[in-house]
Structure 1
Amino acid sequence: MMFALMCLVIYAFIGRRVSIDEHKIRARYGWVVACVAAMMLMVVFSMVFVQRKPMEVQTVGFLYDSLCMTLMLTLVLLASTNDQLRSDLIAMQQADRLKTQHYEMAKENIEQINIRCHDIRKLVGSLYADDGRMPTPEMIREVENNIRIYDSMFHTGNDSLDVLLTEKGLYCSRHGIVFTCMADGRSLDFMERSDLYSLFGNILDNALESAQQIEDAGKRVVNLSVQRDGGLLVIHEENYYDAARAPIFKNGMPVTTKSDKANHGLGTRSIAWQTRKYHGELTMKAADGVFSLGIVIPIPAE
């Protein structure tokens, strides 16, 4: 009776507050078997060696069993937490490697675009010089359409951020999304290139995915600002979301609604991980059809 009461107390104060994401536990069936075996051993030990002893000895034995059970469950929880963190870290490192490779490819693409646009500008200058004929409106319009790609070019003062924003700007142009950004790229010089690309890449990927789900073309808008406020880096992003796909929050973080939870939602966790790496604070909220993200990171003293 005392043993059962102790287990009930432990569950009331500890057990029901514990949340384990079983999708990230390695060999979770092994943990269950080990836990059940340990509990059975303790129960058998109590029944065989303590049951027929005096009440004082039984009380001490039950308390000892309860203490051992508590310690054993604590070890299992710590081990499972370590598994979850290891799984998250591996997934984030893999995502960061892919982001870095993507960065190199995008940089090459943008260099080619710059070369092509430069050639087009030279072509515009030669329209009037070849044979003295005035260019037709159709010729001018065609050239203008080709060089409008420069509307998606960003020059923030940080080459890595410029590449990322330009790539996302080109994507938005193709998919009917209005992307506005005001960024002081020089305030990001303290961040590693791969971290910067991973952080802003995940922020914008999530925002663009949400914007594409909106049927109202007028609400396919993504706003991003990056600025320095004293000794702090302040990042703010806003976008509309479809009311039918409103974000679900848990512990202040949106959780994926997709069935394969082990392979989705990595972007949000990566944002949180990158923010913690630079000792920053992350906030996310959704209200009145608008999702907003805010990050504040202390800028190291030079």
Structure 2
Amino acid sequence: MPELQKLHRKQRVVLLCTSISVFAVLNILIALIMSQAILAIQNAIMFSCFFSCLCVFAVIALLLINDNYQEEKQKAELLRSTNQLIALNYQELYANRKEIARRIHDFNHHIKALEVLASQEHADKTAQYTHSLLKTSYAEKHFCKSGNNIIDAVINCKAAEAETLSIPFQYSVELPHPIEIDQVDICAILSNQIDNAFEASQQLSDTTKRNVSVKIWVKNDSTLFFRVENYVDADPLISNPNLQTTKADSQELHGLGLQNIADTAKKYGGALRSSYQDHYFVSTAFVCLNPF
């Protein structure tokens, strides 16, 4: 019984139906044999041969189903491990960026203090030099502070990446209350959506058209939405309706991004929707905050 509990629900249903069928057929065969009629015995033998073949095919089908289940399970575990590493990486990058921002802020304070001291000592050249340093001030970044650590980490890291790639990046996050969803799953949805938008933006020959925007909000306190838009020259759904990856190494983890988003959203009773609106490709994923 413990081993049977490990089987998938569909497999247990198939096994139950097969067992009931075996029981019913055996009762019929026993009844025919007990009748001691030659014709009945012949029919019983033919029936048993047919049923034996049927059972063999049923076992083969069950094995194939089990093999497919195990393959899907391994893929899910692989994606889960990958998502955990990605989430950890974003959190570490975000922590590093906050530490750098703090040090820059402290550095400006130190320079200001040095300028005051130099002015008091009438060291005009020193004051002039420190004043010029303060003019070349490090612009303090406006970090996303939504109240959700992983969303902040992904948004802030992707904002820095967008700056490196020369892609204008805007975001809007409205979370009225804490989100009770696994941070790894949030990272899996949001990071893959933005990565896809960046990849599409880099393919634009006119760099001035590049633009990516992210909007995250909660509707009716029950559904969390992730919406990512990026400019495109033409509707990709016409030439590639299934949005299959165009990368040469698509047999590896590439190409699993969209499936990862869809599977993660489905886990919480949600889904992934892709659309095209006025030269913008829109990826919208939603999850139910109370799926059960």
TM tier, smaller: 0.5 to 0.7
Q: Distance in 1 between matches of 2:240 and 2:279?
A: 13
Alignment of 1:1-302 (within 5 A): 67=54, 71=58, 74-75=61-62, 77-123=64-110, 125-126=112-113, 129-132=116-119, 139-143=133-137, 146-148=138-140, 150-151=141-142, 153-187=143-177, 189-231=179-221, 232-241=223-232, 243=234, 248-250=240-242, 254-258=243-247, 259-286=249-276, 289-300=279-290
How far residue 116 of structure 1 moved from its aligned partner, in angstroms, is 2.0
* Native 8 Å contact 2:235 2:279 kept in 1: no
TM-score, normalising length from structure 1? Answer: 0.66
Q: Distance in 1 between matches of 2:159 and 2:66?
A: 44
How far residue 183 of structure 1 moved from its aligned partner, in angstroms, is 0.3
1:219-248 deviations in Å (ceiling 9; x for gaps):
221111111221322221111246597773
* Native 8 Å contact 2:87 2:150 kept in 1: no
Give the partner amino acid of 2:101: N
Give the partner amino acid of 1:107: Y
Give the partner amino acid of 1:101: L
Q: Which moved more, 1:271-280 or 1:117-126?
A: 117-126
Aligned residues: 240
Aligned-pair identity (%): 21
Which structure would you say has the larger Rg? 2
Paired residue secondary structure (1:255): coil
Aligned to 1:35: none
Q: Which moved more, 1:183-192 or 1:239-248?
A: 239-248
* Native 8 Å contact 1:160 1:197 kept in 2: yes
Structure-2 change in CA distance of 1:135 and 1:174 (3 Å): farther
Paired residue secondary structure (2:118): coil
Structure-2 change in CA distance of 1:244 and 1:186 (3 Å): closer
Q: Distance in 1 between matches of 2:145 and 2:95?
A: 17
Structure-2 change in CA distance of 1:70 and 1:289 (3 Å): farther
Q: Distance in 2 between matches of 1:186 and 1:266?
A: 32
How far residue 199 of structure 1 moved from its aligned partner, in angstroms, is 2.3
Paired residue secondary structure (2:139): helix
Give the partner amino acid of 2:272: L
How far residue 182 of structure 1 moved from its aligned partner, in angstroms, is 0.6
Aligned to 1:24: none
